[in-house]
Chains A and B, each alone.
Chain A
Amino acid sequence: MVQQADYTIKLPVFEGPFDLLFHLIKKEEVDIWSISIADITAQYLAHLQSMKELNLDIASEFLVMAATLLRLKSKLLLPRPNRGSIQEEDEELFEINTAEELFQRLEEYRFFKEAAQDLKQREEEQQKTFLRSTGGQKVMVFIRQESVYTIWEGANHLSNIMHRFARATLTDTYTPAFSIVEDFVVAEKAAYIHAFLVRSKRAIAMKELFATEGLWEVIVTFIALLEMTRQHKVALLQECLFGPILVILKQEPVQKEEISGERTTEKND
């Protein structure tokens, strides 16, 4: 079998300027502490140039590092001016003023780079072991954690609901970025609502359906209602602004059935 990979040249993807510097140092097979700033600067710039030729986006961080290296290099070449006079306070990512500092930073980066590789190995090992899990019902909306603390703190009514959402998502074991609701759960809920409507002489206040405490159930109920409305199985009626919303059964009930809580399958169309 011919593998496609044989024909493609794979360029290393650098996770940042330190990563690139690190790569260059490794190539030289020298100790971090014995690199020459002049050499490494030249190599770094050459690499940026080749990245440019390959039309790769060069992130600003790489350019900042290039500038930092050049500054270090020039400092080594030029006689030192009065201390303090040119001390600019920059809050940038690289507050590197001496070669010593650069080496220290690289050394630190190197450690975490290796720790990351160790984690990667563990990840691979761990993925070979499958654990028991019950499917479904663990998927919900993702809300940025930061927002929970800042925007919604101490808010009222609507935001209380959002708060409950957020809490539930944060304590949940698994949260993908999108809201996915298992179809069968919604279908079940729709069947339940249907039966509820039949028993309640075909019209109920919407809030009755949301009497439940469970957040998950509220979501499923809501989606089930939307779905039933779309399928013209129920109509939603609001007589005045902010008035109660009525849920009205549109179709003739096929059969009277007692469903409460039981699993039933709903046949659509």
Chain B
Amino acid sequence: MEKEQQKKTIEALLFLSEEPVNTDKIATVLSVSPEEADLLVFELQKDLSAALRGLQVFEIAGGYQMGTLPELAPNLEKVFSEDISSNLTEAALEALAIIAYKQPVTRIEIESIRGVRSEHVLENLIKRKLIRVSGRKEGPGRPLLYSSTADFLKYFGLMNLEDLPPLEDELREEFTE
């Protein structure tokens, strides 16, 4: 397949897909190596921005996805405002941060860090699919363990969990502040 054709195919693939598409899938569709697939996506990204289009391709949750440019948000919100999920509360963000870094983690562990009961917060996060019950901890009561989901990555625009600021650096920064 010609290169231009390949890029068009990727563009169409990402346009149609509601979920992130990973490198391997693109490679399979185009019968190219994963490295070539990544390169083609990179070129597509450049093409889109060079052509001053309203769309962009970005890396998220282990794949590529197409979305609108952030700068267009004010206008798009006039039409699609109901698509925007309401922001998470401070409490929810705190609990999420703890889960993201310490997963799998029990409710008690989360509560002991926050110093507040967090049942309700966790329930809401499950409802929003940002966390899931990933198992049970061995030990008395076999409490449920919580982990973050792929939706968590998507929600915050993360490629993977390593995208979060590392724990040590953050703590080091604090001490030198």
Number of A-B residue pairs with CB-CB distance less than 8 Å in the complex they form: 143
Decide if A115 touches B170 in the complex (CB within 8 Å). Answer: yes
B38 within 8 A of A: no
Cβ 8 A contact of B170, one of A18, A111, A176: A111
B90 within 8 A of A: yes
Binds B, one of A127-135, A186-194, A208-216, A255-263: A127-135
Tell me whether A130 and B73 are in contact in the complex, defined as CB-CB below 8 angstroms, given that A61-B115, A112-B101, A115-B101 are known contacts.
yes
Binds B, one of A75-83, A141-149, A231-239, A242-250: A141-149
Give chain A residues whose Cβ lies under 8 Å from the Cβ of B12.
none
Binds A, one of B3-11, B24-32, B41-49, B60-68: B60-68
A184 within 8 A of B: no
Name B131's closest neighbour in chain A (CB-CB): A145
Decide if A149 touches B133 in the complex (CB within 8 Å). Answer: yes
Cβ 8 A contact of B116, one of A17, A95, A145: A17
Give chain A residues whose Cβ lies under 8 Å from the Cβ of B76.
130
CA distance A104 to B171 in the complex (A): 12
CA distance A146 to B1 in the complex (A): 50
Tell me whether A113 and B133 are in contact in the complex, defined as CB-CB below 8 angstroms, given that A129-B67, A142-B127 are known contacts.
no
Give chain B residues whose Cβ lies under 8 Å from the Cβ of A108.
113
Q: Is the interface of A mostly helix, strand, loop or mixed?
A: helix
Shortest CB distance B177–A (Å): 9
Name A20's closest neighbour in chain B (CB-CB): B115
A59 within 8 A of B: yes
Decide if A61 touches B18 in the complex (CB within 8 Å). Answer: no
Tell me whether A177 and B157 are in contact in the complex, defined as CB-CB below 8 angstroms, given that A18-B114, A93-B112, A118-B165 are known contacts.
no
CA distance A95 to B112 in the complex (A): 9
Give chain B residues whose Cβ lies under 8 Å from the Cβ of A149.
133, 144
Decide if A15 touches B158 in the complex (CB within 8 Å). Answer: no
Shortest CB distance B65–A (Å): 6
Chain A interface residue bracket vs B? 35 or more
Give chain A residues whose Cβ lies under 8 Å from the Cβ of B70.
125, 128-129
Interface residues in B34-85 by Cβ distance below 8 A to A read 56, 58, 65-73, 76, 80, 83-85
Tell me whether A126 and B157 are in contact in the complex, defined as CB-CB below 8 angstroms, given that A16-B114, A115-B100 are known contacts.
yes
Cβ 8 A contact of B111, one of A13, A93, A173: A93
Decide if A123 touches B88 in the complex (CB within 8 Å). Answer: yes
Decide if B68 touches A93 in the complex (CB within 8 Å). Answer: no
A116 within 8 A of B: yes
Decide if B93 touches A116 in the complex (CB within 8 Å). Answer: yes
Interface residues in B118-165 by Cβ distance below 8 A to A read 123, 126-127, 129, 132-133, 144, 151, 155-158, 164-165
| Most central of A61, A109, A115 by chain B CB within 10 Å | A115
CA distance A14 to B81 in the complex (A): 29
Cβ 8 A contact of B73, one of A110, A115, A127, A142: A127
CA distance A115 to B127 in the complex (A): 22
Name B136's closest neighbour in chain A (CB-CB): A149
Tell me whether A123 and B87 are in contact in the complex, defined as CB-CB below 8 angstroms, given that A144-B123, A175-B127 are known contacts.
yes
Shortest CB distance B5–A (Å): 22
Interface residues in B86-104 by Cβ distance below 8 A to A read 87-88, 90-91, 93-94, 96-98, 100-101
Shortest CB distance B91–A (Å): 5
Decide if B156 touches A112 in the complex (CB within 8 Å). Answer: no
Q: Which 10 A-B residue pairings sit nearest by Cβ, starting from the closest?
A: A16-B116, A128-B70, A115-B97, A116-B93, A128-B73, A126-B157, A129-B67, A122-B156, A18-B115, A116-B97
Supply 11 A–B pairs (Cβ within 8 Å), ascending by A: A95-B112, A116-B97, A119-B96, A120-B90, A122-B156, A126-B155, A129-B67, A132-B66, A146-B133, A173-B129, A177-B127
Extra pairs beyond A120-B88, A126-B156 (12, CB < 8 Å): A15-B91, A17-B115, A94-B115, A109-B115, A111-B171, A112-B114, A120-B87, A125-B70, A127-B84, A128-B70, A130-B76, A132-B18
